[in-house]
Amino acid sequence: MQSAIRTFHRTAALGICAASLLATSTLASAQQPSTALAMQAPANDARFARFVPSGQPSATRLDYSLWNEALNFFVFSMGASLRERAPSVQPNLGTRRVYGHTSGYRLEANRVTFSYLEDDVIQSLADYRRDLELTADEIDIASLARNEQLAFWINLHNVAIIEQIAKNYPLKNPSELMIDGYDLPLDEAPFITVNGVGMSPRDIRTKIVYPNWSDPKVMYGFFRGDIGGPSLRREAYNGRNVGRLLDSAAKEFANALRAVDKRGSTMRVSKIYEEARPFYFADWPQDIRAHISDFASEEVREILADTSEVDPVLYETSIADLANGEKEPSYSNVFSTDENGMPVYPDPRVPENVRRMVQERDAKVAKMLRHQDRVGRVYIITEQDEQPAEPEVVE
């Protein structure tokens, strides 16, 4: 894993633009493919008017192969949700303290191996984010095809989130990270600059993408650094795969326990739907129920049928890593035994909190494979859905 990430670093350090411009003669024609009633979408911000998609897209395409390589090696797939809360965690032998993730949602959402990212890789992330920003100085982002624009904004948002968390790691809750020089939290600090406009990750979502794309599945492309949000994919978004990846991400999230559960007659849903509510779900709760129904499994459909109210209260703020943002001390004199009673010493290269997370994930996948009703969702583990010949355009 480290060798591949170092390749990403060396290439970025050479100054090669993160989103290489590919000259093409034409774009394939296939790319054209309650109280809430009082809520309204926020007024347009004049600073972001230059990013409104134009009506005549250019034939320029962007290449994210470097980012794709990096994601493939530092994103750890957790698989689809079993819609079961993870069991309580017992302390390690010799201590009362529990290290690592303990949340009932800890077996959901892909992870970034932040604890294994070295300084040169973290610098590469900063360089790559800057390259993406500079791309907007070379080309007019708003003149690209809609899928190209959407992929650009999703990738820039996610690179920036990962970069800032990596720079400040270890930490447990990304939402509480204050960005140097702004005295604002990660999601609100305008540390990203595109074509001279300072913007925050939330600005990208709510002032550029949500106002200009009518399909609510765009929500699922944005990684927020924690377990509670949509999973980070192991594949970079681009103009051809963005529709496919968003469909897959929507199915994973809408059917996850961290996104939808039931308490009495109320369907509790993720807070990400509250943020998007003024743009996509103004007729609440009818709109959000219809949206979730579009992607729902049989179990979630039963929740939709058995509830009358919708409350956007779910959100797990723990960092989406393997170690819960902490370094566990090693105990060389503590060991376990195998089935034959022989001592098993921990591998000093893998902290026990990380080892436990991986073992729990493996047990979860084995359980999925033992139950026929779960096999149909194994595609989330591999994330190798077949790419259609004619990409869908996300409007």
Predicted confidence (pLDDT) per residue in 81-102, tens digit:
999 999 988 776 656 678 899 9
Q: What is the pLDDT of residue 380?
A: 33
Q: What is the pLDDT of residue 341?
A: 64
pLDDT band of 6, cuts 50, 70, 90: very low
C-beta separation of 113 from 74 below 8 A? yes
pLDDT band of 17, cuts 50, 70, 90: very low
pLDDT in tens, 346-395: 555 688 889 889 999 999 988 888 875 444 443 333 344 444 556 788 88
Q: What is the pLDDT of residue 71?
A: 97
Mean pLDDT of the chain: 84
pLDDT for 28 beyond 50:
no
> Which residues, other chains included, contact 340 with Cβ-Cβ below 8 Å and sequence gap of 6+?
none
DSSP character string of 107-134? TSS-EE-GGG--HHHHHHHHHHHHHHHH
CB contact burial 127-140 (16+ within 10 A = b; e otherwise): bbbbbbbebbeebe
pLDDT for 286 beyond 50:
yes
Measured CA to CA, the distance from residue 101 to residue 105 in angstroms comes to 9
Note the Cα 83 to chain centre separation in Å: 19
Give the mean model confidence (pLDDT) for residues 31-41. 37
Measured CA to CA, the distance from residue 19 to residue 152 in angstroms comes to 9
Evaluate the CA torsion angle 273, 275, 280, 281 in order and state its sign.
Answer: positive
Q: What is the pLDDT of residue 338?
A: 59
Q: What is the pLDDT of residue 392?
A: 85
Q: What is the pLDDT of residue 94?
A: 57
Q: What is the pLDDT of residue 142?
A: 95
pLDDT in tens, 129-178: 999 999 999 999 999 999 999 999 999 999 999 999 999 999 999 999 99
pLDDT in tens, 44-69: 788 999 999 987 888 899 999 999 99
Q: What is the pLDDT of residue 384?
A: 43
Give the mean model confidence (pLDDT) for residues 311-328. 94
Residue 98 neighbours by CB distance under 10 Å: 16
